[in-house]
Structure 1
Amino acid sequence: MKKLFGTDGVRGTANVHPMTPEMALRIGAAVGRQFRRDHSSVHRVVIGKDTRLSGYMFENALTAGLTSTGMNVLLLGPVPTPAVGLLTRSMRADLGVMISASHNPAQDNGIKFFGPDGFKLSDSVEAEIEALIESGVEPAEANEIGRAKRIDDGRYRYIERVKSSFPRRMRLDGLKVVIDCANGAAHRVAPETLWELGATVIPLGVSPNGLNINDGCGSTQPQAAAEMVVAHGADVGICLDGDADRVILIDERGKVGDGDQFMAMMAARWAEEGRLKGNALVTTVMSNLGLEHFLKARGVRLERTAVGDRYVVERMREGDFNLGGEQSGHIVMTDYATTGDGLMAGLQFLAEMVRSGKPASELLHQFDPVPQLLKNVRFETGQTPLEAAVVKEAITQAEAELSDGGRLLIRKSGTEPLVRVMAEHEDAALMQRAVDTVVAAVENAVGG
């Protein structure tokens, strides 16, 4: 069982285990050994990062670990997570590394890995890497130590790839777009891409200082962008998170949409065009029942996975599906990218606005969602609240109450010490009571 890796790589508070430079060096050496199986050819790894202050520290530590095992390191600087997946494959690298804690605050950081095919690593490979970290690895001979090199054009390569997913000969002339980059990895590439395609760009969150990533902006805090959309009379708002692998859209009235509505639009459109492979959309257990009902009425199947875009991608690859994502805004289109890409998804939405002539408010309301309530309960490291008898009893009670036309989902977050309690039901009062029952039991188990 994995101890170090969570649902999306290794993540935590900078300079606190496991996110220390010492551990990053060990991780770098372990993945270097894992992906450098022989000494007969040149091996290389690309490293990208977001704009966190601690990114410099982890970049240096990972580089030291990787080069110590003979890997040549190509440093991309600040680029979105999907750019690392793209460039790993494009540059024929053996491994891709992204240093980012995604939507988390600036004091956190994380390390994500991509294989030579540009896709995130499987659980089994991560388990092998953990074993190497625990056992330690032999460094390379002195004459086989790797080199490190800065790559200056990574973001331009990514911009061109993103633009290639946009319909040829279509332009965004006349569209006024608020783009919130969360003071993160896309603070340059997103505004530049939209401008090159002809949009009038109103930027937000494009002044990173190492400490303000996701601070009052981005996909998890879209209120500022919503206010800007209304104030500037914009047609749409696009909110990315710190590493730009997710997107939240805002209509011309300032109303915030979610990933479920976007996926409903895309799945229906692609199914109509005969482009939806397997006639199915892959999403997680968090997606609303309303999405499932919407798709079923159109003959499209919904496949659910565990929470985490990597599990969505794994199911997509297993079933040869080409569209998937999460309610939180990870949108995966494997015809174009190997992981969630917020900017690319935003461009697909803009393309549909141009093609259909419909406003964002209409496109972001594909179905009426079943009432959904999510509450989080924080716990201390070492606590196991879901194993408490009082919690198990409360869950059983809540499931019984919601069994007719609703559902209950209880899970531990893979990135934070939180228990997430989510319920759906047409009867909002019943849903509220079920969630509150479980939340109270969990709070009791963790001591308030």
Structure 2
Amino acid sequence: MAGLQYFKTDGIRGKVGKSPMTPDFLLKLGKAIGIVLGKKKEQKIIIGRDTRVSGLMLQSILEFGVLSTGISTLLVDCIPTPAIAYLTKFFNASAGVVISGSHNLFDDNGIKIFDKNGIKLTKQIEHNIEQHINNVRLYYHAKNFGFSSRIHNPEMQYINFCKKIYPNDFRLSKFTIILDCANGATYQIAPKIFQDLGAKVITLAISPNGININNNSGSTNVAYLKKKVLLEKADIGLALDGDGDRIIMIDHLGHIINGDHIIYIIAQEYLQQKKNIGGVVGTSMTNMGIILGLKKLGIPFYTSEIGDRNIYQTMLKNRCILGAEPSGHIILSDQNSTGDGIIASLQILSIMMNNKKTLYELSRKIKFFPQILINIPCKKEINLDKNTKIQTIISKYKKFLGKKSRILVRQSGTELYVRVMVEGENYSQVSKAAHHIAETIKLL
């Protein structure tokens, strides 16, 4: 199988109006999705989106492509990505499609696709779709079109799903929560879930206008959330990203709790409950402190390629039910088949209640290795593996930092960035290495 042209780490992503996020491409993509995934005419394809100004336009074009293959669609409009995964299974759809640029700013958008089981597509299926994109013939016979319809109140379907995971007497009335919805797809759903469960909820970034999604808010911008947690003396701060599949938390003292912390806390709780978790799946970005901490608990750790799709596939292979990335993708496959920020948040709040501990108390014993992550913007993709200058400096610092260290330099699969991650035992050495490598890349 040749390399993929359009699908990257998490679906298809790009600047709206530039390849591949153009009307003609979305039309071909819609038709390819209908051909590859719409095997049974009686099944439908669910389509949803986030709050970006471009979302409705792209949804209309992509839906037209799907309908032209004779496959009917179910529209859910603005709804979180994990809700699409759930609704695809609930309505016995043949696939679910989300139009979202995730944690990126409004001028980016993208396509994430789930199969009939609510699982992100394998590379083989993505390859099949790409083959049809490149070879599709755009001709239409109106009498053969599928039908477009809307699901009535899909938000309540997902809200009830999230709440029914827990017993009827599950209440959050003791918690004050600062909730940042990033002006994204969770802006109505998330506050209602936590309020219905009795929490005092103070909301941030719940007024989307099409262009403010993730702008100084959400899981990649927690500075104001941290300030608000301390100001309100809240128990916890929750920062979702634009499509709700990531979560970053703030404890009551203002410490950032990332995906590594979260999955460790959940794994430890599952172990105490004697659940058969099989192990935990992470990536090359997972902090070594978490891996060693899990080992002490007797919990195996498995490394997958970056991206929650790859994490889930590795979970299936090793019969694990827990997987995560530091960025906040948390997969609890006993509850949902993809990263779900709301469900991960409910799980942490449940653990806090069950153990009568603050989030700080649950996380403070986790010993992280010093790790620095630097994102370097670039105008085009760089072949890092073949760049001798970069490879030479990486080799130099690997020797400098010693055996208990890691250096990862990679092209982002979702944005035009080179990501540099350096980890080791000594913070000053790690910082020196990370910044020197980053400055070298900037000069390329």
> 2:50 touches 2:185 (CA, 8 Å); kept in 1?
yes
Structure 1 382/260 Cα, relative in aligned 2: closer, same or farther at 3 Å?
Answer: closer
Structure-1 separation of matches of 2:184 and 2:416 = 24
> 1:265 touches 1:366 (CA, 8 Å); kept in 2?
no
1:20 aligns with 2:29: no
Structure-1 separation of matches of 2:99 and 2:26 = 10
AA matched with 1:86: Y
Name the residue aligned to 1:89: 89
Q: CA deviation at 1:15?
A: 1.2
What are the Cα deviations for residues 175-233 of structure 1, in whole angstroms up to 9, with x where unaligned? 11111110000001100001111111111111111111001111111111112212222
Q: CA deviation at 1:139?
A: 5.0
> 2:398 touches 2:406 (CA, 8 Å); kept in 1?
yes
Name the residue aligned to 1:405: 404
Name the residue aligned to 1:188: 188
Q: CA deviation at 1:104?
A: 0.1
The match for 2:38 among 36, 39, 49 is: 36
Structure 1 382/328 Cα, relative in aligned 2: closer, same or farther at 3 Å?
Answer: closer
Name the residue aligned to 1:325: 324
Alignment of 1:61-210 (within 5 A): 61-137=61-137, 141-210=141-210
Q: CA deviation at 1:9?
A: 0.7
Alignment of 1:41-440 (within 5 A): 41-137=41-137, 141-278=141-278, 280-381=279-380, 383-440=382-439
3-state SS, counterpart of residue 277 of structure 1: coil
Structure-2 separation of matches of 1:70 and 1:318 = 35
AA matched with 1:97: V
> 2:172 touches 2:197 (CA, 8 Å); kept in 1?
yes
Structure-1 separation of matches of 2:274 and 2:354 = 17
Q: CA deviation at 1:246?
A: 0.7
3-state SS, counterpart of residue 173 of structure 2: coil
Q: Greater shift after overlay, 327-336 or 395-404?
A: 395-404
Structure-2 separation of matches of 1:441 and 1:183 = 36
> 2:269 touches 2:351 (CA, 8 Å); kept in 1?
no
> 2:39 touches 2:94 (CA, 8 Å); kept in 1?
no
Structure 1 137/167 Cα, relative in aligned 2: closer, same or farther at 3 Å?
Answer: farther
Structure-2 separation of matches of 1:276 and 1:252 = 31
Q: CA deviation at 1:137?
A: 4.1
AA matched with 1:424: E
AA matched with 1:327: P
Q: CA deviation at 1:2?
A: 0.4
AA matched with 1:9: G
> 1:103 touches 1:241 (CA, 8 Å); kept in 2?
yes
> 2:38 touches 2:95 (CA, 8 Å); kept in 1?
no
Structure-2 separation of matches of 1:178 and 1:270 = 26
Q: Greater shift after overlay, 62-71 or 254-263?
A: 254-263
3-state SS, counterpart of residue 242 of structure 1: coil
Q: CA deviation at 1:4?
A: 0.6
3-state SS, counterpart of residue 177 of structure 2: strand
> 1:218 touches 1:241 (CA, 8 Å); kept in 2?
yes
Structure-2 separation of matches of 1:9 and 1:337 = 19
RMSD, matched Cα: 1.5
Q: Greater shift after overlay, 333-342 or 251-260?
A: 251-260
Structure 1 394/221 Cα, relative in aligned 2: closer, same or farther at 3 Å?
Answer: same
> 1:30 touches 1:137 (CA, 8 Å); kept in 2?
no
Structure-2 separation of matches of 1:176 and 1:297 = 33
AA matched with 2:185: A
AA matched with 1:317: L
Structure 1 430/382 Cα, relative in aligned 2: closer, same or farther at 3 Å?
Answer: closer
What are the Cα deviations for residues 365-424 of structure 1, in whole angstroms up to 9, with x where unaligned? 241211001122222225434422111111221222233221111211101122211111
3-state SS, counterpart of residue 257 of structure 2: coil
Gap runs ≥5 in structure 1: none
Structure-1 separation of matches of 2:393 and 2:370 = 21
Q: CA deviation at 1:437?
A: 3.5
What are the Cα deviations for residues 317-369 of structure 1, in whole angstroms up to 9, with x where unaligned? 11221011111111000111010000010011111111111112212324121
Q: How many residues align?
A: 442
AA matched with 2:388: A
Name the residue aligned to 1:3: 5
Structure-2 separation of matches of 1:428 and 1:230 = 27
What are the Cα deviations for residues 246-285 of structure 1, in whole angstroms up to 9, with x where unaligned? 101111122221111111111111112221422x111111
Aligned identity (percent) is 36
Structure-1 separation of matches of 2:313 and 2:290 = 21
What are the Cα deviations for residues 57-105 of structure 1, in whole angstroms up to 9, with x where unaligned? 1110011100001111111011110000000111010110001011000
AA matched with 1:37: K
TM-score, structure 2 normalization: 0.96
